Chains A and B, each alone.
Chain A
Amino acid sequence: MSGSGHGQTMRITLKVWRQDNPSDKGGFQVVDVPGVSPEMSFLEMLDVVNGRLTESGDRPIVFDHDCREGICGSCGVIINGVAHGPERGTATCQLHMRKFSDGDTIAVEPWRAAAFPVIRDLAVDRSAFDRIVEAGGYISAPTGSAIDANMIPIPKPVADASMDAAQCIGCGACVAACPNSAAQLFTSAKLAHLNLMPQGQPERWARTEAMVETMEQFFGSCTNHGECQDACPKEISVDFIAMMNRDYVKSKRKNRQLLSQSI
Chain B
Amino acid sequence: MTTTGYLDGKVPTGPIDEKWTSHKFNLKLVNPANKRKYDIIVVGTGLAGASAAASLGELGYNVKVFTFHDSPRRAHSIAAQGGINAAKNYKNDGDSVYRLFYDTVKGGDFRAREGNVYRLAEVSVDIIDQCAAQGVPFAREYSGLLDNRSFGGAQVSRTFYARGQTGQQLLLGAYQALARQVHAGSCTLYNRTEMLDLVVKDGKACGIVVRDLLTGEISRHSAHAVVLATGGYGNVFYLSTNAKGSNTTATWRAHKKGAFFANPCYTQIHPTCIPASDDFQSKLTLMSESLRNDGRIWVPKNPNDTRPAHQIPDEDRDYYLERRYPAFGNLVPRDVASRNSKTQVDEGRGVGPIKNGVYLDFGDSIDRLGRDVIEERYGNLFQMYERITDEDPYKMPMRIYPAVHYTMGGLWVDYNLMSNLPGLYVLGEANFSDHGANRLGASALMQGLADGYFVLPYTIGDYLAGMLGEKPVSTDDPVFAESENEVRDQIRRLLSVNGTRPVDSLYRELGVDIVWEHCGMARNQAGLTQAISDIRSLRDEFWTNVKITDQSESLNTSLEKALRVADFFEMAELMCKDALDREESCGGHFREEYQTEDGEALRNDDRFAYAAAWEWTGESGQQRLNKEELTFEYVKLAQRSYK
Contact = CB atoms under 8 A, between A and B. Distances in A.
B541 to A, nearest CB: 16
A125 B70 contact: yes
A252 B627 CA distance: 63
Nearest to A43: B282
B604 interface: no
Interface stretch (A60-68, A106-114, A177-185, A216-224): A60-68
Interface string B546-579: 0111101011111000000000000000000000
A200 interface: yes
B461 interface: no
Contacts of A1: 276, 278-279, 281, 354, 356, 512
Interface in A40-68: 40-41, 43-44, 47-48, 50-51, 53-55, 57-60, 62-68
A159 B137 contact: yes
Given A120-B554, A138-B177, A142-B58, A154 B280 contact: no
Contacts of B282: 41, 43-44, 47, 68
B130 A146 contact: yes
Interface stretch (B114-122, B168-176, B435-443, B475-483): B168-176
A40 B137 contact: no
A226 interface: no
A171 to B, nearest CB: 10
Given A60-B557, A94-B387, A154-B144, A139 B135 contact: yes
Interface in B46-105: 51, 54-55, 58, 69-74, 76, 78-79, 88, 90
A60 B552 CA distance: 12
Interface residues of B, number: 87
B547 A149 contact: no
A26 B130 CA distance: 47
Interface stretch (B179-187, B327-335, B426-434): B179-187
Interface residues on A, range: 35 or more
B454 A149 contact: no
Contact of B244 (A58, A66, A119, A130): A66
B489 interface: no
Contact of B137 (A38, A72, A166): A166
A156 B140 CA distance: 6
Interface stretch (A2-10, A78-86, A236-244, A253-261): A2-10
Contacts of A43: 282
Nearest to B553: A21
A143 B179 contact: no
B581 interface: no
Nearest to A149: B132
B191 interface: yes
Contacts, number: 241
Interface string B155-170: 0000000110100110
Nearest to A138: B176
A197 B280 contact: no
B66 to A, nearest CB: 15
B129 A147 contact: yes
B165 A167 contact: yes
A64 B70 contact: yes
Given A4-B278, A138-B180, A141-B133, A72 B79 contact: yes
Interface string B495-518: 000001010110000001000000
Contacts of B134: 138-139, 141, 199
B547 A55 contact: yes
Interface string B119-147: 00000001011111111011111111110
A204 to B, nearest CB: 11
Contact of B280 (A44, A73, A120, A133): A44
Contacts of B245: 66
Interface string A125-160: 111011001110111111111111110111110011
Nearest to B68: A66
A21 B133 CA distance: 43
Contact of B179 (A57, A66, A138): A138
17 contacts: A20-B554, A39-B278, A51-B502, A63-B557, A67-B79, A69-B285, A119-B214, A127-B70, A138-B135, A142-B55, A146-B130, A149-B133, A149-B138, A150-B145, A156-B144, A159-B137, A167-B165
Given A153-B143, A167-B165, 20 more contacts: A1-B281, A1-B354, A39-B277, A39-B390, A55-B547, A60-B549, A71-B168, A141-B130, A141-B135, A144-B130, A144-B454, A146-B129, A147-B129, A149-B128, A149-B133, A150-B146, A156-B140, A156-B144, A159-B144, A170-B71
Interface of A: 1-7, 20-21, 37-41, 43-44, 47-48, 50-51, 53-55, 57-60, 62-69, 71-74, 90, 94, 96, 98, 119-120, 123, 125-127, 129-130, 133-135, 137-150, 152-156, 159-160, 162-163, 166-167, 169-170, 193-194, 197, 199-200
Interface of B: 51, 54-55, 58, 69-74, 76, 78-79, 88, 90, 126, 128-135, 137-146, 162-163, 165, 168-169, 172, 175-177, 179-180, 182-183, 189, 191, 214, 243-245, 276-283, 285, 353-354, 356, 384, 387-388, 390, 453-454, 457, 500, 502, 504-505, 512, 547-550, 552, 554-558
